[in-house]
Amino acid sequence: MIDQSSFSRTEATRQILQFLHEELLNGSGPVTLQADTDLLASGTVDSLGVMRLVAFLEAAFAVTIAHEDVTMENFLNASAIAALICERQEGAL
């Protein structure tokens, strides 16, 4: 049996990685992004990319990302972002 929170986090991670590849990397190059790829150090996301990512997250997952949530820790990689999304969704229940 799949733990619903794990499934949700896994699906959120998959969608985040897909967005990053298709929208921020414009689908170019080989897909080398993994759930634990450091998005800032790898150059995948810059400050404008963070703003686009936040807009995507809010629309795709029906959550609100507060300014204080936009931290290096929360946006380090797709796994960290998915954890934030799951936390926000659980808080909305």
- CATH code of residue 58: 1.10.1200.10
> Which residues are CB-contacts of 63 (< 8 A; sequence separation ≥ 6)?
57, 85, 88, 89, 92
**Does residue 7 fall inside a structural domain?**
no
Structure tokens at 83: 């954890």
Residue 91 belongs to domain spanning: 37-93
Rounded mean pLDDT, 68-91: 94
**Does residue 71 fall inside a structural domain?**
yes
- Confidence category of residue 93, pLDDT binned at 50, 70, 90: low
Rounded mean pLDDT, 1-27: 80
pTM: predicted TM-score of the whole model, two decimal places: 0.87
At residue 90, does pLDDT exceed 50? yes
**Does residue 21 fall inside a structural domain?**
no
Rounded mean pLDDT, 27-52: 87
**Does residue 84 fall inside a structural domain?**
yes
DSSP state of 68: G
pLDDT of residue 29: 61
pLDDT of residue 60: 94
At residue 5, does pLDDT exceed 90? no
> What is the distance between the alpha carbons of residues 2 and 84, in angstroms, rounded to a whole number?
20
31 conformational bin, left if phi > 0, alpha if psi -120 to 50, beta if neither:
beta
**What average pLDDT does the chain have?**
88
> What is the distance between the alpha carbons of residues 19 and 76, in angstroms, rounded to a whole number?
15
